Amino acid sequence: MKEFVLLFQSKDQKGIVALISDFIFKNGGNILSADQHSTDPQNGQFFMRVEFTVEDSVDADKLDADFTAVEQHFDAEAVVYLKNRRARMGICVSRPDHCLADILYLWRSGELKVDIPFVVSNCEEHRRLVEQHGLPFHFIPATKEERHEERLLSLVKDSDFLVLARYMLVLSNEFLMQYGKDIINIHHGFLPSFKGPDPHRQALEQGVKVIGSTAHFVNDRLDEGPIITQAVEQVSHRDDLAGLIRKGKNLEKRALSEALSKYLDCRVVKDGNKTIVF
Amino acid sequence: MKEFVLLFQSKDQKGIVALISDFIFKNGGNILSADQHSTDPQNGQFFMRVEFTVEDSVDADKLDADFTAVEQHFDAEAVVYLKNRRARMGICVSRPDHCLADILYLWRSGELKVDIPFVVSNCEEHRRLVEQHGLPFHFIPATKEERHEERLLSLVKDSDFLVLARYMLVLSNEFLMQYGKDIINIHHGFLPSFKGPDPHRQALEQGVKVIGSTAHFVNDRLDEGPIITQAVEQVSHRDDLAGLIRKGKNLEKRALSEALSKYLDCRVVKDGNKTIVF
Amino acid sequence: MKEFVLLFQSKDQKGIVALISDFIFKNGGNILSADQHSTDPQNGQFFMRVEFTVEDSVDADKLDADFTAVEQHFDAEAVVYLKNRRARMGICVSRPDHCLADILYLWRSGELKVDIPFVVSNCEEHRRLVEQHGLPFHFIPATKEERHEERLLSLVKDSDFLVLARYMLVLSNEFLMQYGKDIINIHHGFLPSFKGPDPHRQALEQGVKVIGSTAHFVNDRLDEGPIITQAVEQVSHRDDLAGLIRKGKNLEKRALSEALSKYLDCRVVKDGNKTIVF
Amino acid sequence: MKEFVLLFQSKDQKGIVALISDFIFKNGGNILSADQHSTDPQNGQFFMRVEFTVEDSVDADKLDADFTAVEQHFDAEAVVYLKNRRARMGICVSRPDHCLADILYLWRSGELKVDIPFVVSNCEEHRRLVEQHGLPFHFIPATKEERHEERLLSLVKDSDFLVLARYMLVLSNEFLMQYGKDIINIHHGFLPSFKGPDPHRQALEQGVKVIGSTAHFVNDRLDEGPIITQAVEQVSHRDDLAGLIRKGKNLEKRALSEALSKYLDCRVVKDGNKTIVF
């Protein structure tokens, strides 16, 4: 059996679920799970994710092509993924390496089902960790003054999406447009509070009693892209800056690994500046 | 428009979602949301919950009758509820009244969309609170020695389901069979640990660092019925018995009110000794 | 035995704990618990809370007077409270009454050890709930245009501190100065995000995956006073505005009741725009 | 300046805090923080942890010796630790390596301030990971049938305490007695529920809605030693066994790393079958 995931979105209208499930049934498929979301019963947008199996003999390309009729009928956007495909995930990282180490462990242990074509960093010290995992490491000496975005771009093109696993340089809008694919960032603060640098210091100065971490898609506004996951933890007056940073690192690992896991399962759909995480 | 909720379960097989959604579509309905769960792709049990609207002109009884064909085709059990129906929820309570007060507040504020035909207690002191809410209060002086189950039974028959909002007497199997409808209990411990009386003392003596509370269906084994919701909180050596009880009360309110809210939304389905909470 | 709580703060310096504990020992007292906090070992501020018992025969006023020598030695501020004193807590509330109902329940059940001299509201509908608890209710028809702060002030003077249990009008700086005592507010959002009105709508529009609620002292900047407690909960794209508000109400009850409980135990100390919660 | 941590316990009695803080003051020390706990004001046990600094010129051994007078006065047990000492932590691990990888990362990044004299495993595959960190790896082919406890014992003697980072073999009472030092285990279930093997399967079969993980000291009863930390997370009917295991791994990393961090800070004190975690 082959397993597929269908992601579908269109204006909300009657009969979508019926037609899609009928299409799958008629192609000999079996629905394993289905989720939908309607932003508003009147005039809203409709989102659907379906996992289904079909016999191995079914031609995936033909299936995809046949589905075009359904898609056009509802004026929808839809994508069908082979469930066991392995996406190519590029990693960018600056000095803090806790998220990098966590991702590499999850990759090696088979928990993150993904290929990693490269790790790129402006911090040469990470070479050893990356190469010990048998992965290509690229050092690009990017700084705020000289970002080397062209070198970066020519490297990262060879990926299906990027993870900024604590990459401290802001990517230019031009870079974002030329790359043109998803970029997932981990921000070490509880957005929309504490944008920009040094969110733990901001949290300390505000005297908050809960800190957080946010995994989100990158868009052209700093730390304002659609949020995928957020992890939070209680803190108290006993937590100094070092304590907040230590707790924060755990939150970053949790928020980012959960976001990647959902994303790789085709469970994350952008809806304007928000996300649906099925 | 009328809104309905369909709860459906059968052996897992191909085409269920297609046939159900097609049925709704052909009756002019619109699916607002749908959830399914399959316990096992091979030979498992399939569960589905669908919220849908149809025109007011559609006859609900006819709809229900027509659906019988779908049901029989899959050898399924199914129920269709009018979404805005108001179930009749009876409440049994002993001395601790924090869950009672919470439920009555949520009922009065319209958050729990339910009718309360009676509150019954072996503690006369609750009369005032209940009658201030304009609800009938019944005092039955049940004790471990004399449970007065016949009186209780003749009273509670007039309800769609029962809530034991900290009712300290164990109901006999005969009572359960004769009542024959759902009974939801709140247990003040984190099941399956700490069954039976005085779970906070048990927790204290074991030196646990997290305590919990469990809302579950009552069955014929004490504190072993299917779990609906569990709420938990960190504790430390600073929490003495009174502190555990105080924190525990909050957990009981949270677990029970969430369980009731899900149950009244027709989101809770029993699956053997477990539940599916859509 | 009498139980006391000492709250002490001064510039950090050697020997504070020694001198204070020696003072208690020499007065025949027994320390039940002690907490300290130092904002910075060098040149920081030192805070201490001590619970201790002394024989009933000890004169509390004399104890207090004698302690003045210790206080002056360290150029400190200190207060000694009788642990079982009952503070007079005034309550101000607008239309949403979930926090009011929760506080009244906790008061009646003896969990909040406090006297409530009055509940004041610009919403006449709450009279019944308040008077059913045997408490004085005052209706002041305050609006954004006509705040009736003088009437409010003459009423609330008769309290040791105020709770704004969802009071929707901003109190003027003049009012704050004239009242001159602590005011605790519950804000229905996760500060410092989402200040001002309609924080749940702001949260919905930002697409956050965690919402919160914040209990804080009121100062002269809107929603920026020192934070006492924050409660948080996961949300998803399934939570619409009504869902966020419903979850938010639970968070407000949790954050406010915990803040009041800590405050009444003399565990909350202001440290600039932050708090220490022992 | 030298920093010390004092851990003190005795029968509760008057004047302990006074005498200890006076002792520190008279030796020119400054208390950075102090915590106490009294299990019961009457006839209870008293526990205290004090962090303090003294001038470098102070002789630590003399300090320790002088403190003996205080200790004897209260018939107490006390230990003084140099705060920056590096304990020698041995690691035992079977096949699952997520806790091992997490601990090694935290050690290398300097977050766990500890020396690791060896990692011992009955799983040769971990050699590479351990040796990449520059640490000695020992393979002992222990099985349920042949535990090789003598070999293990002669190896682990060279450590201040042991961590069982998912070590699947039960250590015999004789081993425990001969080793005679602390052993910290991570159990992949929420104790006291789900003792013994396969706790995730037990949790799945019970249909719990929250799973947990427990770090505890090992004693002579399986999975019943004093609990140090517990981490918990919500689950639902959607989580199958693989999902529970995946979430559980995160909980194990969190509970164990927090327990180790507290233990290395001298914040964990055994109190019979419970712990105090300052």
C32–D14 CB contact, under 8 Å: no
- A95/A72 same-domain check: no
Distance CA A252, CA A193 (A): 16
Q: How many percent of chain D have pLDDT more than 90? A: 82
Indicate which of C14, C39, C40, C210 best probes the interface with D, i.e. most D CBs within 10 Å of its own CB: C14
Per the omega criterion (within 30 degrees of 0), is the bond before A141 cis? no
Distance CA D11, CA D43 (A): 7
Q: Residue A25: its chain B contacts at CB < 8 A?
A: 14-15, 17-19
The pLDDT of residue B170 is 93
Distance CA D121, CA D137 (A): 8
Among C82, C105, C122, residue at a domain's last position: C82
Given pLDDT bands bounded at 50, 70 and 90, which one contains residue A256? very high
Distance CA A53, CA D5 (A): 61
Residues C209-263 have pLDDT tens digits of: 999 999 999 999 888 999 999 999 999 999 999 999 999 999 999 999 999 999 9
Q: How far is CA C150 from the centre of its chain?
A: 23
C30–D14 CB contact, under 8 Å: yes
Distance from CA of D253 to the nearest CA of A (A): 10
Place of tokens 């360290």: C74
Residues spanned by the domain of A41:
2-82
The pLDDT of residue C96 is 97
Per DSSP, which regions of chain D are E strands? 2-11, 30-38, 45-54, 77-82, 89-93, 119-121, 137-139, 161-164, 183-187, 210-217, 227-234, 268-271, 274-277
The pLDDT of residue D223 is 87
Question: Which positions ≥6 away from C150 have C-beta within 8 Å?
Answer: none
- The DSSP bridge partners found for residue A269 are A276
Question: Which positions ≥6 away from A110 have C-beta within 8 Å?
Answer: none
Helix (H, G, I), strand (E, B) or coil at D220: coil
Q: Residue B102: its chain C contacts at CB < 8 A?
A: 105
- B15/B96 same-domain check: no
Domain containing B71 — which CATH number?
3.30.70.260
The pLDDT of residue D144 is 92
Cα angle for residues C145, C151, C157 (degrees, 5° grid): 130
> DSSP letter at D227?
E
Distance CA B138, CA C81 (A): 45
> DSSP letter at B208?
-
Retrieve residue B162's tokens.
């029962």
Residues in chain A: 278
Nearest to B262 by CA among C243, C62, A61, D172: C243
Residues A100-109 have pLDDT tens digits of: 999 999 999 9
Residues in chain B: 278
The helices-and-strands tally (H runs, E runs) of chain D is: 8, 13
Nearest to B156 by CA among B175, B132, B133, B142: B175
The pLDDT of residue C196 is 84
Q: Residue D109: its chain A contacts at CB < 8 A?
A: 97-98
D250–A254 CB contact, under 8 Å: yes
Q: Which three-class secondary structure string do you get for chain C?
A: CEEEEEEEEEECCCCHHHHHHHHHHHCCCEEEEEEEEECCCCCCEEEEEEEEEECCCCCHHHHHHHHHHHHHHCCCEEEEEECCCCCEEEEEECCCCHHHHHHHHHHHCCCCCCECCCEEECCHHHHHHHHHCCCCEEECCCCCCCCCHHHHHHHHCCCCEEEECCCCCCCCHHHHHHHCCCEEEEECCCCCCCCCCCHHHHHHHHCCCEEEEEEEECCCCCCCCCEEEEEEEECCCCCCHHHHHHHHHHHHHHHHHHHHHHHHCCCEEEECCEEEEC
- A73/A122 same-domain check: no
- D132/D230 same-domain check: yes
DSSP secondary structure of chain A: -EEEEEEEEEE--TTHHHHHHHHHHHTT-EEEEEEEEES-TTT-EEEEEEEEEE-TTS-HHHHHHHHHHHHHHTT-EEEEEETT---BEEEEE-S--HHHHHHHHHHHTTSS--B---EEES-GGGHHHHHHTT--EEE----SS---HHHHHHHHTSSSEEEESS--SPPPHHHHHHH-S-EEEEESS-TTSS-SS-HHHHHHHHT-SEEEEEEEE--SSTT-SPEEEEEEEE--TT--HHHHHHHHHHHHHHHHHHHHHHHHTT-EEEETTEEEE-
- A12/A133 same-domain check: no
The pLDDT of residue D58 is 85
- C98/C210 same-domain check: yes
The pLDDT of residue D43 is 81
Are A128 and A95 a contacting pair, CB within 8 Å? no
Residues D70-97 have pLDDT tens digits of: 999 999 999 999 888 999 999 999 999 9
D273–B210 CB contact, under 8 Å: no
Are A199 and A157 a contacting pair, CB within 8 Å? no
Interface predicted TM-score (ipTM) of this complex, two decimals:
0.93
The CA–CA distances, whole Å, from A245 to A199, A206, B149, D78 equal 9, 15, 59, 33
Helix (H, G, I), strand (E, B) or coil at B207: coil
Retrieve residue B64's tokens.
């229900």
Distance from CA of A33 to the nearest CA of D (A): 10
The pLDDT of residue D213 is 97
Q: Residue D24: its chain C contacts at CB < 8 A?
A: 18
Residue of D nearest to A257 (CA): D250
- CB–CB contacts below 8 A, A to B: 58
Nearest to A170 by CA among A158, A187, A192, A182: A187
Distance CA A118, CA B178 (A): 67
Question: Which positions ≥6 away from A59 have C-beta within 8 Å?
Answer: none
- C120/C251 same-domain check: yes
pTM across the whole model: 0.95
Residue of A nearest to B33 (CA): A36
- C53/C96 same-domain check: no
Catalytic one of C56, C223, C239, C240: C223
Nearest to A132 among D98, D102, D132 (CB): D132
Nearest to A193 among C193, C226, C232 (CB): C193
- B102/B64 same-domain check: no
Distance CA D256, CA D214 (A): 8
- For the stretch D222-246, what's the b/e string if a residue is b when 16 or more beta carbons lie within 10 angstroms of its beta carbon? ebbbbbbbbbbbebebebeeeebbb
Distance CA A217, CA A182 (A): 7
- C48/C142 same-domain check: no
Distance CA A116, CA A100 (A): 12
Range of lowest pLDDT (A59-68, A142-151, B225-234, D71-80): A59-68
The pLDDT of residue B24 is 92
Q: Residue C207: its chain A contacts at CB < 8 A?
A: 226-227, 271, 273-275
Retrieve residue C142's tokens.
């305050």
Q: What is the pLDDT along chain B (278 residues), one digit of tens a residue?
A: 899 999 999 999 888 999 999 999 999 888 988 999 998 877 899 999 999 999 888 887 888 888 999 999 999 999 999 888 999 999 999 999 999 999 999 999 999 999 999 999 999 999 999 999 999 999 999 999 999 999 999 999 999 999 999 999 999 999 999 999 999 999 999 999 888 889 999 999 999 999 999 999 999 988 899 999 999 999 999 999 999 999 999 999 999 999 999 999 999 999 999 999 99
Which residue numbers in chain C have pLDDT < 50? none
Retrieve residue D232's tokens.
């918990």
Range of lowest pLDDT (A47-51, A111-115, C191-195): C191-195
Retrieve residue D237's tokens.
């009917």
Among C82, C113, C140, residue at a domain's last position: C82
Among A47, A82, A117, residue at a domain's last position: A82
The pLDDT of residue D64 is 83
Place of tokens 């805090």: D17
Task: Report which secondary-structure segment, H or E, holds B214.
Answer: strand B210-217
Task: Report which secondary-structure segment, H or E, holds B53.
Answer: strand B45-54
- B44/B154 same-domain check: no
Q: Residue D48: its chain C contacts at CB < 8 A?
A: none
Residues D14-54 have pLDDT tens digits of: 889 999 999 999 998 888 889 999 988 778 999 999 999 99
Nearest to D109 among A98, A105, A111 (CB): A98
Given pLDDT bands bounded at 50, 70 and 90, which one contains residue D190? very high
Neighbouring chains of D at 3+ CB pairs under 8 Å are A, B, C
Are B250 and B99 a contacting pair, CB within 8 Å? no
Q: Residue B19: its chain A contacts at CB < 8 A?
A: 25
Distance from CA of D47 to the nearest CA of B (A): 11
Chain D residues bordering chain B (beta-carbon distance below 8 Å): 37, 190-194, 206-210, 212, 226-230, 232, 236-238, 271, 273-277
User: What is the tally of structural domains in chain B?
Assistant: 2
Is B271 among the residues known to form the active site? no
Residue of B nearest to A23 (CA): B18
Question: Which positions ≥6 away from A205 have C-beta within 8 Å?
Answer: none
Neighbouring chains of B at 3+ CB pairs under 8 Å are A, C, D
- C194/C267 same-domain check: yes
Residues D102-118 have pLDDT tens digits of: 999 999 999 999 999 99
The pLDDT of residue B143 is 94
Q: How far is CA A223 from the centre of its chain?
A: 14
The pLDDT of residue B223 is 87
DSSP secondary structure of B66-117: HHHHHHHHHT-EEEEEETT---BEEEEE-S--HHHHHHHHHHHTTSS--B--
A97–D111 CB contact, under 8 Å: no
C210–A212 CB contact, under 8 Å: yes
Among all residues of A, which ones are annotated catalytic? 223
Nearest to C18 among D22, D32, D38 (CB): D22
Q: How far is CA B127 from the centre of its chain?
A: 24
Domain containing A112 — which CATH number?
3.40.50.170
